[in-house]
Each structure stands twice: as structure tokens, then as C-alpha cells.
A and B are shown apart, each in its own frame.
Chain A
Amino acid sequence: MSKSRASGSVASIGYASGPLFFLSVDAVAYMPSGVADEEAVRLRAALTSAAESVATLMQSADEEAAGILEFQIAMLDDESLSEPAFAAIAAGANAADAWSDAMADEIQGYEAAEDAYFRARSSDLRDIAARVLRKLSGVAELAPPQGAIIAGKDLTPTQFLAMDWTRGGGIVLKAGSPASHVAMLARSRAVPMLVGVDSLEAANGDLVLLDAEHGSVVVGPDAEAQRAFMSASAAHRDRVQHAQLRVRDRAVTVDGVAIDVLVNIAEPADVRSLDLASCDGVGLMRTEFLFGHGLPDEATQYAAYRTVLEWAGDKPVTIRTVDAGGDKPVPGYTLDETNPFLGLRGIRLSLSRPDVFRVQARALLRAAVHGNLKVMFPMVTIARELAEAAQLFELEAKGLAAAGIPHRMPPLGIMVEVPAVAISPEGLAAAAFFSIGSNDLTQYVMAAGRDNNAVSMLNDVRNPAVIALIGQVARFGAAKAIPVSLCGDAGGDPAAIPALLKAGLRSLSVTPAQLPLAKATIAASRAMDPIDGAA
């Protein structure tokens, strides 16, 4: 008999076996020495050791993470940060209390900042505060053995990045959400991960079999459980290998329906190592990367769009105008709103800032001559928004024509992510195409935030209400000859693909890493309902 079993939802598909490693709880018990000099020595040692740990972490971090860690090191090295703590120690406080109080003041200063970017730094300071406290209490840095299955309530992206995943391993979380940042990291590095695992009865070091395909964990497996795991994981490995061999094949369902499978990219660099033959084009090119550092000029945008269009040749490239706002703030552009997901984001923001939107329109119009460009607008809710955006493109095209600059008007389509559009798409029949943004559509239909772990169970694209709306949009598109595609996370999720095909979708856009399994899933699915033959 196996010791115990538990189940959860799959956040990153795959199999792993290894010793269980529970993340330590943050409750820190510090034993004061009672001597001021000794407390000061301890705090100094903890600060040095914390800075060293961050420096070690920095060696393997990518550029973006390194920037954050460098800031943390600079803070730890700065005596101004610890001065109030040392003063409190001299006045009789113990090192842990003195440090906690000093940092609480510092954190509060950042939390009170008007600027969202300075406010966000409070999380860095919390990270610094906790790290030094752990050093003070002698709690070791998180260092699970290689290949361990990490278990805990939740896992932060920093913790994930601090771990060595080169020798396998997996993640089993009690809380957590498949939409969280750490789940995205796990998927991109192929680390198997389950979330929502409630009742894991196990001890540190127990052998655990993690099946993050069907969503189960076996602790202390018996011979039979081991055999079942070996055969399921081998079958999965074969499927992945097989899928990779056939990634250049056109995706066709069991009942013979060809499905377009395109890719979602976040920046031109994403296509550099991608085999053009493995996809049917770019279904979504995001442009937020251009706005990472304020507002980009026309030449920068034009060069980026042109790179991808030239890479794709004749295949379509759908570029989305900047989708800032919501959870994607852009300094100097987005507003600080109390409810940003229901605020001025996507096309709403673009239309409110024609000075910025015009520049993007001109860059797109000029880039259009270099390939098969389509342009789509995010967060369109009513017909007037599409009309105004189209008008702005017309105006810029006229300007370019007058100046004798080569350009072309691309088909202008919309993202379908606001429930109003999915419920009555006829209002937006003027769109050249529809691309369903299933992430936002799901969170708006289910009234459950994407990154909120507490409601992750509700944030389900396979809920009948969401599928019904997707089906309605697909049928409307088919009736009016408006192409319909889907570019949300669901498009690449093997668990969601069959339902999306049954709902009538014939075009999906997925991340490049998801191409092989998405195509293999399509090849094993039916597009038509076998009972009544309806799409």
C-alpha cells in the first residue's frame, strides 16, 4: 500500500519523482543574547551574509532579475538602512526586533508613495527584511536537494529562480493558481507543477511520485503505484517526443478538419529560434515590450514590426496595438486606477491618447508593406471604438500617402475579450476578424481575477458559460465570413483544446513551446460532435 495520495490541478504538465521537501514556514524564532554588543555583531553578520546570498542568486539570474537583485544588494550594503536598527540595539532592543522595526518604517515609506513604481519597491524591502531575519535566526536559505518535489502553501518567483531545476524536480502547492507568475515560469522551464493540493499527508524526505498530467501525487508508493507511474510517464515522454517530430505537420483532427495553429509572441526575439514551418503564422504579437521604457518612437516600432513580418514571409502576422493598463502599467502612459481591469486599458487608453496611438498606427502602416500584416485592437467594447481607431488609421495613411511614404492599410480586427462583444458580436461585424482573448474573457465572465489564487477555481475557461460565448462568436463569424481565432492561454492547453474545437474554433494561437503538444492534441481530437454532426 502506498502511504498516501492527493490530487490537485495541473499548472505545468509533466512527471517527476523524488524526495519531498517542505518549504519552511516563515515563523522565525530568534533567541536574543541580552547583550547589546553581541546583538550588533549578529545583525552585522546577518546583513553581510544576506548580501552574499543575493550575490550568489544574481550569478544565475537573467538580466531583468539581476537588476532587481543588484538593487537589493545595494540596499543591504548601505549603512543608512541599518543605522536605525543599530541605534535601537544600542538602546536595548534585540537584533531581530530592532531590524524588523527599522524595516517596517522603511517599508511603510514606500507603501505611502504616490508613484506605483516606488510603491512596488516595498515588496523588495520585505524580501530584504525577511532574508536578514532568516539569517539572524540561523534558518538556512531554501536549499532543497536536487530533483526534490517542493511542497508548500505557495512559492514566489524568486524562490523558484533560486532553485536548481536542471536535475528534475517538481512543485506541489496547497494554494497557488495556474495563472500565477510562478506557474508561467514552471511551464517555460518544463517543471511539473500542481496547485490546489489540499491534503498532502507526508513528511520531509518521503519519496513522492508527481503526475502533473492527470493531477495526482502519491507519497511512499507501493510497487504497483511505481509501475503505473513509470508507464504513464514513459507514455507522456513518448508523446512529447513524437509530437516534436511531427511539429511541422499541419494540424488535422481525427475527423479530418484542418486547424490553423499560430504562435503568440511577446517580442521579435521570440521568433529567432522558431521554425517557421512549425506554425501557420503569428496569431498575436504583443507590443507592450516596446513601451517598457516609456513611449517608443515610430522608427523603433517600425523596425520591430518589420523584423517579424519579414521572418513570417507570406504567413499572417497579427500585431495587437498596445494593450497597456490592467496588470500592465506603462510609466508616463497608464493611469493609477483603483480598478484597472475595469478602467482605461487597451483601445480605451489608445483612443484617449491619440498622440501616442498615431505613432503606432504610422509604424504599422509602414511595416505592412513588408509582409502579411493584420492589426487588432484590444478591449474593444462598442462599435464606435473600432470606428474611431479605423478612422485614425485612415488619417495616418493619408498623411503617409501625401508624404510619398510607402505604406498599406492592413485588415483591422478586434480582440473579443469583453463579454459585451461575445454576447452580441453583431455590433462589431465591421471588424475584419475576431481574436478571442480567453484569459480576459474568462476573468470577466466568471468575475474571478486571473492572478487571484483565492478564486482560481472559478477562473476556468472550460466553464459552460465561457465555452457557450466562445461558440457563439465562432458561429457568428462563420455566418458572416469573419475569421475567428483564439489567442489566450487556453489555446495551448491540451485539457481545453477539445472543448474549443467543439465550440467551433478552427484557429488557435499558442506560445511557441506549446506548439508540439497543441498540434498532437488536435490530431487526437474531434472537431465535430459525433452525435449530431454539428460544429
Chain B
Amino acid sequence: MKDTRDLAEAQVLITHEVGLHARPSVKLTKLAKGFAARTALALHADGPWVDAKSIVKVMATKAPKGSTLYLRAEGEDAAGAIAALVDLVRRDFDEVGAHVEVKG
């Protein structure tokens, strides 16, 4: 059931210091899984697009800080999915106060 009204797209700049790293990726994929829409992300407007619900695929993009994340969703709640994902990236994935390894 494809319907053009159920397509949503956005792009957002990754400002999080280490980019789309392990914990941010976990948060992003978990959030994406909460929506019925098929969600995909890419580092370029023309792809390659990867499944935003797959931690393996998302991590494999190795998106560093400063890269623009292209997001695309298709399905009933596509607009909501995109809005939520963009918001997560803008909030720097709610990552604060993480630790570095500290030694003598």
C-alpha cells in the first residue's frame, strides 16, 4: 500500500562529539523500531540508504561528527518517525557526562 502522503524526509547535522557511535546508534535504532514506518538513513542525499532499525547497518555507516544525516521514512507514521529521529539527533542523543578512561 504505497501512498505518497506517507513519505517523510529530513536532514540533520550530527553535532554529537563522537558522531553516530555505539550508544547513540542504540538509541536511534530503538527509537526507529518504535514506529511502524520503514525508516532509512544515509550520509548522502543519493544514498546508499541503510535500515535505520538495524544497529549493525547504522554503526557500519561510521558517521562522524559534522556529517549530515539524511533520514527517510515510509508508512503510516512516517512523519512522526522522522520528527522523533531528528529531535534525538538534535538533542545530541541525550548523551551527557560520559566517561573517558582515566589513569594516573
Contact = CB atoms under 8 A, between A and B. Distances in A.
Contacts of A331: 17-18, 65
A80 B102 contact: no
Interface stretch (B4-12, B40-48, B55-63, B69-77): B55-63
B75 to A, nearest CB: 19
Contact of B26 (A71, A81, A266, A329): A71
B96 A328 contact: no
Contacts of B21: 117-118
Nearest to B17: A294
Given A71-B55, A80-B56, A80-B57, A289 B100 contact: yes
A266 B18 CA distance: 22
Contact of B62 (A64, A115, A293, A488): A115
A330 interface: yes
A524 B72 CA distance: 70
Contact of A292 (B22, B59, B97): B97
A226 interface: no
A295 B99 CA distance: 13
Contacts of B51: 80
Nearest to A83: B56
Contacts of A328: 100-103
Given A117-B18, A332-B17, A266 B102 contact: yes
Nearest to A74: B55
Interface in A305-361: 324, 327-332
Interface string B65-104: 1000000000000000000000000000001111111111
Interface residues of B, number: 30
Contacts of B101: 327-328
Contacts of A440: 104
B39 interface: no
B60 to A, nearest CB: 6
Nearest to A79: B54
A71 B23 contact: yes
A524 to B, nearest CB: 25
**Size bin of chain A's contact surface:** 35 or more
B29 A74 contact: yes
Contact of A291 (B22, B26, B65, B100): B100
B22 A68 contact: yes
A289 B22 contact: no
A124 to B, nearest CB: 8
B104 A67 contact: no
B7 to A, nearest CB: 24
A26 interface: no
A67 B23 contact: yes
A115 B16 CA distance: 14
Contact of A488 (B30, B55, B104): B104
A319 to B, nearest CB: 14
A288 interface: yes
A328 B99 CA distance: 11
Contacts of A439: 103-104
B18 to A, nearest CB: 4
Contacts of B19: 115, 117
B65 A80 contact: no
Contacts of A74: 25-26, 29-30, 55
A37 B49 CA distance: 32
Interface of A: 64, 67-68, 70-71, 74-75, 77-81, 106, 109, 113-115, 117-118, 121, 124, 184, 264, 266, 286, 288-289, 291-295, 324, 327-332, 437, 439-440, 450, 487-489
9 contacts: A80-B51, A113-B62, A286-B102, A293-B95, A293-B97, A327-B101, A327-B103, A328-B103, A450-B103
Q: What 5 A-B pairs are tightest by C-beta distance, nearest first? A: A294-B17, A80-B56, A439-B104, A71-B22, A74-B55
Interface of B: 17-19, 21-23, 25-26, 29-30, 51, 54-57, 59-60, 62, 64-65, 95-104
Given A74-B29, A450-B103, 6 more contacts: A67-B22, A71-B22, A71-B25, A74-B30, A289-B102, A331-B18
